[in-house]
Structure 1
Amino acid sequence: MADDVSGKIADKILWVAVIGAGPAGYYTAEALTTGRDDVRVDIIDRLPTPFGLIRAGVAPDHQSIKNVAKRYSATNDRENVRFVGNLSLGRDITLKELQTLYDVVVLATGAAKDRELGLDGENLTGIIGSSAFVSWYNSHPDFRNLAPDLKVASVAVIGNGNVAIDVARVLAKTADEMTNSDLAPHAADQIHGSPIRDIYVFGRRGPLEASFTPKEMGELNELENCVALVDEGQLPDASGDDELAGAQKKNMIALRKMAENKPDDKNIRLHLMFYRRPMAILGDERVCGIRLEKTRVEADGTCTGTGETETLPVGLIVPCIGYKSAPIEDVPYNERRGRFENDEGLIADRLYCVGWARRGPTGTIGTNKPDGVAIAKKILEEVQPSGRGGRVGLDKIVEERDLKIVTFADWKKIDEAETSAATDGAPRVKFASVEDMIEAVDNQ
């Protein structure tokens, strides 16, 4: 595994360790190594699988979005880029050790932790944050045993963004509609056997402030066994539609169509609700309802409560209210913003961050590309090679500690095993445990 760079040539090599094999990490590696023979990048991830939220965050029925992984694979085909999977920062190696081995360490760890609601009753059984819930139905090893109780009649999904729509849509779709997806089999069994009949999706602002994208909104009007509903009284006066543009205009077209739908058109009802904010979670040991306050958006854009409340009887609540990065020992962290403290990506000498770890959970997958390019440019301008050992030193530690790392060639074996297991048009059946992934590597 050792790199063949040695002698005086090694002194001119800039060694970079990128922690996190998601979009931000790959775009940074791509930008660092494009046209550069003097840079070597090791992309390190605690899981044996690359691509981060492309694999574990994108909805299983949105396969076209996952095609961007082909670009990341092309980056890994470069001789000066290496994937090092199944190597966990903190468990297997420390940040300080990596900083002695590499000229630069870049934290591209994303934002995988759910934000808290901060409400009474938040710790009741039946409340599952969207990061955990989405990871569960996407076969993430950390959440394969989550086992949410879906034997409920109604679900509340908190949030007016695409994650909320994804959760609602996955819960509402039939088994036939999910045939061409990579929905985790353990999740499919529970979802498609669930008695759920009402799904409430709500946010505290109005339809014009919601961050749904038109594609996701349009899909809600095309579900086989679920009717999307919205109270026409929560929509703005139609006379202003001509002044709208872009996503707002397209979303309003979809919403006005929903306002014409009837509750008994299909077996499952998906209620899009606006001007509602959660006040309290109800229940003793487990969730039985949620109390909401009606809101209004003032002329200056602020959202205020009206004092009028209502209660929804629900057995499951999935908050989709944002994420935060997991803190790392000895790295300054901004708790309020859920990201690492940094100055345009610089945390400390030779320590950088990129993507959601830098700016917080904002933007799309594509937003990470210019971010990665900017951080790569900053690194190349600010850091000079120092003769550190880079991957040679890392490989020595791996050998001394008898660690089982996964290379990109190994990942391709996992990929082949997953795709070979697929049936009925599914793209793959993903492994949901690290042990099964390692076994797939060893058996090929």
Structure 2
Amino acid sequence: MTRKFFGTDGIRGRTNEPPMTAEIAQRVGQAAGAHFLRGDHRHRVVIGKDTRLSGYMMETAMISGFTSVGMDVVMVGPVPTPAVALLTRSMRADLGVMISASHNPYVDNGIKLFGPDGYKLSDEDELEIEKLLEQPPLLVAAAAIGRSKKIEDARGRYIHFAKSTFPEELRLDGLKVVVDCANGAAYEVAPSALWELGADVVSMGVSPNGTNINDRCGSTAPEALQARVVEEGAHIGIALDGDADRLIVVDEQGRIVDGDQLMAMIAANWAERGQLRGGGLVATVMSNLGLERYLKGKGLGLFRTQVGDRYVLEAMRSRGCNVGGEQSGHIILSDYSTTGDGLVAALQILACLVEGRAPASELLHRFDPLPQLLKNVRFGGGAPLETAGVKSAIASAEQRLQGTGRLVIRKSGTEPLIRVMAEGEDEALVEEVVDSICEAVSAA
């Protein structure tokens, strides 16, 4: 069955345009609710959101959908995506929902669904929900309609959990940390957790107004954080995205440290402590060859998956690995969480910094990455990757890179984009092959 609504990370799009309309959100609530009505207990769904303006509309519509099929709703307000996963499990809910478009601008929104175990839904569950979306809703009798309520301690619960993942024998006293919360879901919880652990916290992106989420701030726009870290003389900077399931780090010199370097540090540290499982870590096809070579030098493996943190997690579970993630900063530490968690990953990095007693610039840059270039080409419709011109350009690029690099071409699962990535020993060659494929896609 072809997916109509779900992409690589839930459902996402521009608000008030399909599939991000109130009507479809209500239908998703009805379909997902009906799918998870199992047994004769009182059913419950946890709904969280980030800070974008359309969250109110989407939340209200989904509450209408869930209650109409007999589910009670617990609203937890603006919290990180991993908090929804955590609360779904801890509150014994049947389903969790995060209303967020992650790192996208405020005009977009999305719906991420979690099962009762706190994990993102399987392909099979999503396909079943898609089938139900095409059918009339399974409305319950008036007496069985669900209720909704809001709980006020959700953020406190998550802060307590995040702090519990930090080594209890360590403190952040004397460490100056700049944290950029992207005017998003972690605008309260991240600064609070860091401060309570002893850090001297400088906060940025903590004044959400509904439209400034990810606006020149956060993990996808770290320039302001880089400048602030240097200006403040801070030891480290942490940038989260809109729903706080990813992070990018800035060292004390203002240099960016991406997810590959962070995973290398955590994996090496855990391996030394005997905590690393599975013989290595799981990452996607986008992770740099430098990471693979670094891990190999330590007797560890890099197990690659297709792009998407859900696929990383599936591979982690099947291989028995407890560290995985993406170059973009989605880092999954399955000892603590069922999904990517920017704050928890940041706390592991800070623990390494405290233990290492060396500057972030020394500890965080574990390998020299190979030249890598990623460009996005927007397309209007059709299947540009199936055209003869694009196929020919890709074949030529692969031949030119043979033995010295690699090529990854994929269609975005959340936007109408073709993502073209190449890496190799020769930076000029990498740029040439990426440009040649982008030109072919644009002409398709």
Q: Which bracket does the TM-score occupy, shorter chain normalised?
A: under 0.3
Larger Rg: 1
TM-score, normalised via structure 1 length: 0.26
Normalised to the residue count of structure 2, the TM-score between the two structures is: 0.26
